Amino acid sequence: MAVAYVALENVVDVAQLREVLENHGPVLLRAVNDAGRFAHNEARKRITEGGTNWPAGYINNKTLSLRPATSLMRGNTGSAVITARSRPSTLTRFNATVVNDDKRKGVRVEVNRGRPKILWKAFMTNMGGNALVMMREGDYRQLPNINAHKYAWNGLVSLYGPSVDQVFKTHRDGPDGIATMALDRLEDVFAELMGFKHA
């Protein structure tokens, strides 16, 4: 998600916008980065406190990063960019434990907070230093509402939960989304610094 640009009553054409960028670029950069930090903090809060049961400390500057704006000139967009990790999270991150009721075995996981689920015939293993929850491909295909998998080899399927990016997008868009809040913040801060009335 990129936080950039501001709509002002005072800026009505390209020439005036160019004048703002040339003469007040540092102020606009300050407003953009303020809005970026605000959006990043709000995203971390919503993702951490939302329905997905992330492990403690998992939502950090590596899985949800902020790159501040550095310049408005020489082709730079002047955007503060939030990037969320797109790689799916292995199910072992979601309180995965082996269960055995004497008749069948499986793995209990809690991807959605407060809603644990047992994946019968699943098992936990370590491959290449990574702890994984896996199933035999034939057993996996019998699960209801399965999605096409791309983490399969040698007749085994590695099971994953959502990525941070997937969850971030659910909070980003919409009238109450983080993007809308960031834009409002950007307009307010820039208008305050410039002494403008914003639209």
List, as own/partner pairs, every contact residues 51-59 make where C-beta atoms lie below 8 angstroms and the sequence separation is at least 24, other chains included.
Answer: 51/112, 51/113, 52/111, 52/112, 52/113, 52/161, 52/162, 52/167, 53/94, 53/95, 53/110, 53/111, 53/112, 53/113, 53/114, 54/89, 54/93, 54/94, 55/93, 55/94, 58/89, 58/93, 59/164
Mean pLDDT of 36-40: 95
**Residue-range definition of the domain harbouring residue 53:** 2-86+164-194
100/82 same-domain check: no
Mean pLDDT of 45-64: 94
| pLDDT at position 127 | 84
| pLDDT at position 3 | 47
124: in domain: yes
Q: Global pTM?
A: 0.79
Number of Cβ atoms within 10 Å of the Cβ of 18: 11
Cα(50)–Cα(91) distance, integer angstroms: 17
64/130 same-domain check: no
| pLDDT at position 142 | 85
DSSP state of 196: P
110/144 same-domain check: yes
Mean pLDDT of 138-147: 80
**Tokens read off for 45:** 């809060």
61/128 same-domain check: no
Contacts of 1 (CB under 8 A, 6+ apart): 39, 43, 81, 82, 168, 172, 178, 179, 182
Q: pLDDT band for 102, please (50, 70, 90 cuts).
A: confident
Cα(29)–Cα(109) distance, integer angstroms: 44
The share of the chain scoring above pLDDT 70, in percent, equals 80
Check whether 74 has a pLDDT greater than 80: no
The DSSP bridge partners found for residue 64 are 84
The total domain count for the chain is: 2
173/106 same-domain check: no
Cα(60)–Cα(66) distance, integer angstroms: 10
In the block, which residue shows the tokens 């995203």?
43
Q: pLDDT band for 4, please (50, 70, 90 cuts).
A: very low
71 phi and psi angles, rounded to 5 deg: -160, 155
154/187 same-domain check: no
199: in domain: no
Name the least confident of 73-82, 129-138, 153-162.
Answer: 73-82
